[in-house]
Every structure is written in structure tokens, then in C-alpha cells.
Amino acid sequence: MRTKKPYKIIWQIMTDTSPPTSQATFDRNQIDAFLVQLARNAAFDGWSEKSVSEACHMAGIEPLLITELFPAGIPDMILGFSDWADRQMTIQIKDDTAFATKKIREKISQLIMVRFTILAPYKASLSAASKKMSHPRHARRVQRAVWRTADQMWYLAGDQSTDFNFYTKRTLLCSILVASGVFWLRDTSPTAKKTQDFVNQRIAHILRWGKLVGGCKARCGTLSQRVKQGFDAFFPAKWRRDFRS
């Protein structure tokens, strides 16, 4: 069985234009209250029907509406909570007047840590959620959610690329988000200091790799240009025209 190439998977994720799973009308704040309460309940009762029922009651929302908005059930709710975290991250960063003056690497590092700070009260629930979403049948949903988070981070960081760099930047950031997320769930240090160091280290590695690739491209370009110049010196254009004729 042939496996799909990574760039094809990325393209499918990015060009997915499937319609929303539900056309139900809802109050965003009410749904957010439900998702937050569900994440709190999940720390005690897991991501279960009991947690969902209690969250509906406490948020004052009809269970039928939740069923319409999250047709896949718990997996959709977990990803809905991830979307909530992205929106909270955006709100906090937009209120930070010093953010715009920072370097790109500092912005990305801050964005990742701000998101972890937002999720910190729900760490136990997210640990259980990560195990539930690790099943292969959820892989596509998880990939899409991580990509959206990476895309939002690059947008907030001021990225305006529209060429192939648009994809490479987000792909590399996705790898950092996944690795740092796993590390953060196991981090017991105060204020997630070890996670902060881990994130900065990963970003530094990516930047070094980018410089290495850029240097290789530059050297290859210079080498090919020198070969062309040497070829032109030994075989002038006039000779090549005569040879073709």
C-alpha cells in the first residue's frame, strides 16, 4: 500500500473546503462556556457523556444543540476547545502593546507559551484528551487543528509570505507545537520554565537548519553559475550555434 507524500497531505489539509458540519444557530459565548466547563469536568469524570451532560446544564444550553454543533461527539468537542484556546491566545496577544516590537523568534516563543498558560488550568483534562485523540481515526482532525493553530500564530507574528515559505513555516511550527505540547504535559516545573527552555531550543534548531539550507542553496547556485561560466569560456556561444547548424 502506497503512503501519501507529506506535501500532498499538507495540501489536502490546507485546501479542505468542506462545509460546516452544522448549520445550527448558536451563541458563541454560551458555547465557549460549555467547552470550558466540559474541560473542567473532564479532569474528574473524563471526556464522557456525564461530563457533557453536566457541562450543558451548567452552561444553560440544550444537549440537542451540542449534538448538532459537534456531530462527531467528544472528538469534535476536544477540537472545539482547542479553537477556544486559539481565540483566547489571539485576544491576549492583541492586548500586548510590546508584542509588535519583538523579533519573530521571540513572538513565536511567546505565542506558544501564552497558549500553554491559557491551557494550564485544564492540564489534567488535556492529558486525557491527548490519549483519546491519538487514535489513528482522529489523525486528520488533529492535523487540521494543529495547522490552524500554527497558521494563527504566524498571522499574529506578522507573517505575510504567499510563496512556498507559507507552507514550510507552518509545517515547521506544527512540529514544534506537537513536540512542545507533549513536553508541556509532562512538565512539573514552576511556571513551565522547562517548557519555555524546550520551546526556545526547538526554535533555535529550526533557525539553524533554515540557515544551513539557505547556505547550501546559495553555494549550489554559485557553483552552478561557475560551471556555466567555465562552459561558456571553453565553448563560446558562436561555436554552439555553429554546432547546432
Architecture of domain 103-245: Orthogonal Bundle (1.10)
What pLDDT is recorded for position 158?
Answer: 93
Q: For the chain, give the number of residues.
A: 245
One digit per residue, pLDDT tens: the chain, 245 residues? Answer: 444 444 444 444 444 534 344 445 568 999 999 999 999 999 999 999 999 999 999 999 999 999 999 999 999 999 999 999 999 999 999 999 999 999 999 999 999 999 999 999 999 999 999 999 999 999 999 999 999 999 999 999 998 888 888 888 899 999 999 999 999 999 998 889 999 999 999 998 887 755 545 555 555 555 556 555 654 555 455 544 443 44
What pLDDT is recorded for position 210?
Answer: 52
What pLDDT is recorded for position 90?
Answer: 97
> Quick count: other Cβ atoms within 10 Å of Cβ 151?
18
Q: How far is CA 142 from CA 132, 151, 189, 191, in A?
A: 11, 14, 27, 26
- Which set of grid coordinates corresponds to residue 239? 561555436
The CA-based diameter of the chain, rounded to the nearest angstrom, is 87
What pLDDT is recorded for position 113?
Answer: 97
- Which set of grid coordinates corresponds to residue 51? 461530563
Helix (H) / strand (E) element for 52: namely helix 49-59
Helix (H) / strand (E) element for 162: namely none
What pLDDT is recorded for position 215?
Answer: 52
Round to whole Å and give the CA distance between 208 and 136: 32
The full set of domain ranges for the chain reads 103-245
